[in-house]
Structure 1
Amino acid sequence: MKMLLQTLLTLFPFLLLKFSSVRATSLPGGPNGKIYGVNLGSWLVLEPWMLPQEWLDMGGEICDQCSTCIASEWAFTRAYPDTADAIFDDHWETWFTQSDVDKLVEYGINTVRIPLGFWIVESLVERSHEFYPRGGIKQLKRGLKQLKAAGIHAILDHHALPGIQTPGQMFTGNCTSNVQFYTPPNYHRALVWTAVMTGLSHLDPDFGSVFSIQAVNEPIMDASQTPGYGDFQVNFVKVVRAVELALGMPVAADDGLLSSILSGISGGNVTASLLKASETMQSDSDVANALAEATPILADILVQLESSSALSEGAPLRSPLVTNFMDVGWQHNNPSNPANAQIGPQGYDNHLYYSFGGVAAANPEAYMQSICNLQRVKTDAAKGNSPLWFGEWALPTQFSATDDFLYRWADAQKLMYSQGAGWIFWNFKVEVSEKAGDLARQWSYFEGVERGYLTRDPSELNDNSVCANYV
């Protein structure tokens, strides 16, 4: 009996991985089975820490407190208003290329998460006091076209929100402590952005690989500091579904409210259908106002992207988008549960980095003990937050990690995150330069594969029994 128990414990991680793969359910429009993905970070939302030498070459600055120097897109565009657009266009063109897409295919990646700033919809920017580069929407279309041709699915992640959703972070596009996202005007701008991106995802053929839109990347974790966020989650879903219903796309599991309000709206002319939808939803004023403002913006962008024929032809028959939120566990102090906002397909995201502390003691044994007994998928499912994927994770640690540990650390994370819908590594690459030092070793997926920490087939592990001694 003891020998049998030891054998089962040795095989447990492998069996868990195989069992989770059998249970995997495909997300509508997404990859078939588990998500094996990477983030396209620092492409359309640039974070200078990931490419320090290029940032300096562009004209930016590096400082300990990112709010005190030119260390964000906002600060850069304010400092160089006449040249920022051209400088960023060169960065967009060279940071993510066809060769990167080819490498994603070679490494078996089936999904990318694309961080976006609200300013990619340029008319939402209040230029008197907001400073962001222009032209990103065409680069997004270019990248999505390349990804679609390669068979790679995409999540559009609203990474940097109007008014800033989190203080002092490069990833918001503006390093500031003045957080204003959680206000009615900026909730409204985010809903307009949502309507526009939903429309593009269904109407522009090059957006055909998009299967999900994420509402907000990493909001403030203390829910007492995010007033109105629960209402925003509800309205985010309603906006996505209202656009889809106006385009003639039925939404599975609709509670009937939207369908009844929008019955008979779909028709030939997209602009007319969206405006009619807005008129018939006046009882949902936040949703109605977002639709009304988004409609001409969407039409203008389709013309700009040379896809204006979609305005008269309508949307091809596609699956409804998967609405996506950070899971309920992301916040504390009585957070709203995004599961309560669900209409149609919905997914949940969790980010787990050990390198910032607060997860496990800073030593290899504690890290392995913690990760191999991770309960987040089970805990989230009990609160209705399923399917869950891990939208950001990487290999950095709070201690000097040996190569041997990084093999095990990569395997253990992949094993446990595959209990859910899958995982998305941060980041597909980081700069390799003298200025960047050894950054790529633990933050770059490409580098991790080349060094062997990450397997060339993302569904496999170097050691199927990596967690046997810790479970």
Structure 2
Amino acid sequence: MQHLVALLTSFALFTAAAAVASPPSKIYGVNLGSWLVLEAWMLPQEWLDMGGTSSSCCAGCISDEWSFAQAYPNTVDEIFDTHWSTWFTEDHVQQLQADGINAVRIPLGYWIVEPLVNRSSEYYPRGGIKQLQRGVQQLQDAGIVVILDHHALPGVQTANQQFTGHCTSDVEFYTPYNYHRALVWTAVMTALSHLDPAFGNVFAIEAVNEPIMDANQTPGYGEFQINFVQTVRAVELILGIPVPDVTLPFSLGTSNTTAAFMKVAAANSTSLPAIFNPNVTAALAEAGPILLQVAAELASPSVLDFTSTQAPVFSSKTPLWTNFMDVNWQYDNPPNPANAAIGPQGYDNHLYYNYGGVADPNPDAYMYSICNLQRVQADAALGDTPLWFGEWGLPTQFDATDEFLYMWADAQKMAYTEGAGWIFWNFNVEKSTLAGNLSRQWSYLDGVNYGFLTKDPAAYHNASVCDPYYYNTTSA
């Protein structure tokens, strides 16, 4: 305890606070995929040069961050720091700004909050949070807002996927222990978004990227959705940020974030609002000391201190948007994240045709499908609105001509802007002999250069592209 008190008093008061951004009226965005959660299939040559093996394998090879860190424990941090520094740079920020991008979604692993990692049994590179701070500041300087996407969850949320950081069939996220770790992550990232000025362009935090689609295989996920929202709002309430219909019934008596978290976590539950349930207070209790370590790593004393709850700078701030994959992402009676909402909340859907199961593999079938898409309306009927499409791209199951890709880009953009907008996967893809023609349909920057994607993301090559494909609703 003496060590904790010494750390608490070792930082001078710093009352400058990040201003939370607002989402654009229409999102035109890109993902920063393979930056802070590396997916080897998007950079096969670099992955081999780093020391990985085939980018197409899963288990039994060096195919992901886990297996790489396990194979190279003494050099992984240095190697990944080089990757982080070169995969996403200021030049990319300037290109995205010039191309009219107004939002980015940043896939993150739970290990970016390093104290959450069990180093004896889990293997990930260290130092990513400093790169995240660098990147969000560069994006903020360019006027681009950010969604922090919890893309790779503790215990792994989906089997056999590189995007989880550990390509394994052993899925253990849907357990009390890992739900708790995800809530601690949420508390830390919420505090950073409000307190570190570099994170001032963050407007949303996404709870879980692509959980298992069968709701029977995700026990406890509905309760986690509620706890996720309540954790975000609990942190905001502690910081003095107004939360709809909820107030703290007592004065905190401190402007130190860690001390405030711990005081609330230790309070009598009957004296606290209902959002401070035992899952939330347990997350706050663990997140408080972690913030000391994060602040030191980021050289950001503002993470530790906030002004009093009466201070105008905080009482006039707005809450972050909480963000979930939409209810229709799952089947078999899934929980509806709309039931968890407190304050602003957005919903995410991902749509890729190239993996099959959406439309027959030919141009006409693709166009009929996308031009008559009803996902925005189906979600809205269940309260999941506003909806943005957080992942999509130009890949197809067939050899697409340039002529078709012009149409395909226009039609998808048109469908997705019926909702809150779209976020393309991915901002960039490796160009190499080994990668072949991958960037033609997966890279936003190359899509603009090829001309498939318009320089102005709100524009179309042909605003009537869907006219021949709309169904006759009176007969169809």
| Match 2:258 to one of 263, 271, 275 | 271
Secondary structure of the corresponding residue to residue 389 of structure 1: strand
Flag the 1:281–1:410 CA change in 2: closer, same or farther, 3 A: farther
Secondary structure of the corresponding residue to residue 90 of structure 1: helix
Q: 2:333 maps to which residue? A: 334
| Match 1:250 to one of 228, 238, 242 | 242
| Match 2:286 to one of 276, 285, 293 | 293
CA distance in 2, matches of 1:416, 1:404: 19
Q: Deviations over 1:41-76 (max 9, x none)?
A: 000000000000000000001154311210000000
Q: Deviations over 1:141-185 (max 9, x none)?
A: 000110111110000000000000000000000010000000000
The alpha-carbon deviation at position 262 of structure 1 amounts to: 5.3
Q: Say whether residues 1:149 and 2:148 are aligned partners.
A: no
The alpha-carbon deviation at position 310 of structure 1 amounts to: 4.3
Letter in 2 for 1:244: E
Q: Say whether residues 1:429 and 2:457 are aligned partners.
A: no
Q: 2:92 maps to which residue? A: 100
CA distance in 1, matches of 2:45, 2:209: 26
Letter in 1 for 2:407: R
Q: Say whether residues 1:464 and 2:458 are aligned partners.
A: no
Structure 2 gaps of 5+ residues are: 1-19, 271-276, 471-476
Asked if the contact 1:262/1:277 (under 8 Å) is kept, the reply is no
CA distance in 1, matches of 2:377, 2:121: 45
The alpha-carbon deviation at position 306 of structure 1 amounts to: 1.4
CA distance in 2, matches of 1:361, 1:179: 31
Asked if the contact 1:242/1:277 (under 8 Å) is kept, the reply is no
Letter in 1 for 2:266: E
Q: 2:39 maps to which residue? A: 47
Q: 2:156 maps to which residue? A: 164
CA distance in 2, matches of 1:138, 1:122: 11
The alpha-carbon deviation at position 314 of structure 1 amounts to: 3.7
The alpha-carbon deviation at position 263 of structure 1 amounts to: 4.9
Letter in 1 for 2:84: W
CA distance in 1, matches of 2:206, 2:236: 16
Letter in 2 for 1:294: A
CA distance in 1, matches of 2:461, 2:268: 54
Asked if the contact 1:213/1:322 (under 8 Å) is kept, the reply is yes
The alpha-carbon deviation at position 302 of structure 1 amounts to: 1.3
The alpha-carbon deviation at position 226 of structure 1 amounts to: 0.4
Flag the 1:347–1:96 CA change in 2: closer, same or farther, 3 A: same
| Equivalence map 1:7-86=2 (5 Å) | 29-62=21-54, 64-86=56-78
Asked if the contact 1:247/1:266 (under 8 Å) is kept, the reply is no
Asked if the contact 1:246/1:266 (under 8 Å) is kept, the reply is no
| Match 1:189 to one of 174, 177, 181 | 181
- % identical equivalent positions: 64
CA distance in 2, matches of 1:244, 1:349: 23
CA distance in 2, matches of 1:183, 1:450: 45
Secondary structure of the corresponding residue to residue 68 of structure 1: coil
TM-score by length of 1: 0.91
CA distance in 2, matches of 1:326, 1:116: 15
Q: 1:358 maps to which residue? A: 357
Letter in 2 for 1:65: C
| Equivalence map 1:71-470=2 (5 Å) | 71-251=63-243, 254=244, 256=245, 259-261=246-248, 263-265=250-252, 267-280=254-267, 282=269, 284-314=277-307, 316-317=313-314, 318-470=317-469
The alpha-carbon deviation at position 312 of structure 1 amounts to: 3.1
Flag the 1:63–1:210 CA change in 2: closer, same or farther, 3 A: closer
The alpha-carbon deviation at position 309 of structure 1 amounts to: 3.9
Q: 2:7 maps to which residue? A: none
Q: Deviations over 1:228-249 (max 9, x none)?
A: 0000000000000000000000
CA distance in 2, matches of 1:41, 1:434: 21
Letter in 1 for 2:434: K
Secondary structure of the corresponding residue to residue 347 of structure 2: strand
Flag the 1:313–1:261 CA change in 2: closer, same or farther, 3 A: closer
The alpha-carbon deviation at position 261 of structure 1 amounts to: 5.0
Flag the 1:464–1:202 CA change in 2: closer, same or farther, 3 A: same
TM-score by length of 2: 0.90
Asked if the contact 1:242/1:262 (under 8 Å) is kept, the reply is no
CA RMSD of aligned residues (A): 1.4
Flag the 1:268–1:457 CA change in 2: closer, same or farther, 3 A: same
